Structure 1
Amino acid sequence: MTHLPNLFIIGTQKGGSTSLHRHMSGHPDIGVFREKEINLFLEGVDIAKRLEELGPPRGGTEYLLDGSINYCRYPRHGGVPGRIVEHVGRETPRFIYTLRNPVDRLISHYFWNSERYGEHRDLMTAAETDDVYVATGQYDLQMAQYLEHFTLSQFCFVRFEAFRADPQAEVNRVLDWLGLPHMVIDTEVRLASTSAKTTRAQRFPGVHAFVTGTPALRRTLQKALPDRTLRRLNRALSKEVVREPVDKETRKLLLERYFLDSIEKTEDLLGLDLEDWKTP
């Protein structure tokens, strides 16, 4: 099977992966598909058919990049590392993992879903009832799946905070790790972000609660409608409201309930200093 990726940006969602992918796709030695998140190795995907849909990649041939953040959303999507081994091999793949303060990441993820996909629950209820908000930011949990199949030397970790402060330096560091020459990045590429002042609320919360509370119906709509259509539908059925800031006590609760232990395990597992994440 041709055109299989050997370089992966595996997350994290709301951690700068889209901007990093845009930078990396500009390198002459890195090839890309026409979509960032090809989700080639998710359960149930017909890889040959998916590759045919995508068409031939463009760009360089040293590395072929797959930027699917769903690869680090266990347990929502399980078995990804094993499928990569099966189709790409154990020694070949290289992984770039963007890491963001998990409380900040969860909050950004929540408002992103509110603005674009109609998240109607309050922040704490969403965190308590939807594992993807919490598990995505438990990096020890996500990496444990990969380290059953790959070695730590196959991973390059990019801190969101460092990437935001100096994207050129972080891109250079990744290129050094890949053994590729530096390039000047496009300064027009910006980190995607949620509005700090406004979000969106549903005009018909009962209807929306029914749809989102019925998993089979929700999955059917997600499969039937393109992502762009879902976003437009949400905008039509919602209204802009003032975004209330998340107070320090809520941040502290999120940290202590879901992430503090995970941060410490991540430090031990990956050999990183994440001390600045341990205060709300």
Structure 2
Amino acid sequence: MDAVARKMLPQQVRNLIRPEVYLARRGVQKLRQLTGQSGRLPDFLLLGAQKAGTTTLYDLIMRHPGTAPARTKEISYFDRFHNWGADWYRSNFPSGPGLTGEATPCYLFVPEAARRIADTLPQTTRFVILLRNPVDRAISHYFHERRLGYERLPLAEALEAEPARTGQEAAVLLGRRHEHRTQGQSFAYVGRGRYAEQLERYFALFPRENFLIETSDRFFAEPRAVLAEVHAFLGLADHAPPPVRPRNVGVYAGRVAPEITAHLADTFRNDNARLADLLNGPLPW
């Protein structure tokens, strides 16, 4: 759904038509594949995390004259649409010159995605990762699911229900089958913020030097500096970007109780310590 439609249509209407638009876009790629319009595998992936600025960063990367964007920023091949096959995945990318890649935030979180990526992409593939304070990320994620119409529980109850929702029932679809969304993906407010274990899966499969890991705190504070580092990491000449306009910024419907924020901070304490050790440095949060 393009930006104009998002502004003109009420949220409830957008929630109803989003699954059909989602599937239609991927169906167009299926047609390109069947008519021989197959591209190539990506040079890089922006793995996540969700609600950490990946859409904004991907947009800026793709404004570089040495890049060629995927037909859809978030392809979701390695998590939701893997059964559509590698030829379909290739059809999402251009066949001509220019560095190309995609940005699907679920790739960092979904365990199967890492192995599928290693089985499909070469060892030279580059990975860019943005990490956000997991407390802020969890709260933003919750209100995102509320806007989409998936989450109906109050925040405290949703956090309490997370283990049951994302455990044995994680594979149950949420009612919009065309999106291939699961409870495990949608309601993992805390789970998605356990970054160390997610990174370790990738470090076991690809060389550590293949990863550029930055925080959304620094990205939005120093976008020019972070983008220059991304360009250098991807082997692109430095290129001055236009002014940064954050994309997909969430709006919180109501005040978050301080005791919930404190509870989340305590929940992530050990995970943050593990992450700091893994990245060999202090975290901004």
8 Å Cα contact 2:39/2:95 also seen in 1: no
Q: Percent identity, please.
A: 29
What is the distance in 2 between the residues matched to 1:53 and 1:64? 12
Paired residues in the alignment total: 223
State the secondary structure of the residue aligned to 2:130. strand
Query: Which residue number corresponds to residue 7 of structure 1?
Result: 44
Alpha-carbon displacement from aligned partner over 1:62-91 (angstroms, at most 9, x marks no partner): x32121111012xxx3222222222212x2
Equivalent position to 1:261, from 263, 270, 281? 270
Aligned position for 2:105: 69
Partner of 2:69: 32
* Shift in Å, 1:34: 1.2
- The answer on whether the counterparts of 1:27 and 1:60 sit within 8 Å (CA) in structure 2 is no
CA RMSD of aligned residues (A): 2.1
Partners of 2:57 and 2:111 in 1: how far apart? 24
How has the CA–CA distance of structure 1 residues 141 and 128 changed in structure 2, closer, same or farther, with 3 Å as cutoff? farther
2:128–2:212 contact (8 Å) kept in structure 1: yes
Alpha carbons 1:21, 1:67 under 8 Å: kept: yes
Q: Which residue number corresponds to residue 231 of structure 2?
A: 175
> How big is the shift at 1:28?
1.9
Contact 2:48 2:106 in 1 (8 A): yes
> Where does structure 1 lack aligned partners over 5 or more consecutive residues?
200-242
Q: Which residue of 2 aligns with 1:227?
A: none
Aligned-pair CA distance for 1:116: 2.4
**SS of residue in 2 equivalent to 1:45:** helix
Counterparts of 1:42 and 1:165, CA distance in 2: 31
The answer for unaligned runs of 5 or more in structure 2 is: 1-37, 167-187
Residue 82 (structure 1) aligned with residue 124 (structure 2): no
Partner of 1:120: 152
Q: Distance in 1 between matches of 2:275 and 2:281?
A: 7
Give me the TM-score of the superposition, normalised by structure 2: 0.72
- 1:167 positional shift: 1.2
3-state SS of 1:189 partner: coil
Q: 1:51 aligns with which of 82, 89, 114?
A: 89
Distance 1:81 1:120 in 2: 31
The amino acid across from 1:11 in the alignment is G
Compare the two structures and name the one with the higher strand fraction: 1
Helix, strand or coil: the match of 2:193? coil
Whether 1:21 and 2:53 are equivalent positions in the alignment is no
Quick one: distance in 1 between partners of 2:106 and 2:230? 21
* Separation in structure 2 between the aligned mates of residue 169 and residue 107 of structure 1, nearest angstrom: 27
Cα distance in 2 for residues equivalent to 1:34 and 1:125: 38
How far 1:2 sits from its partner (Å)?
Answer: 5.0
Matching residue's letter, 1:110: Y
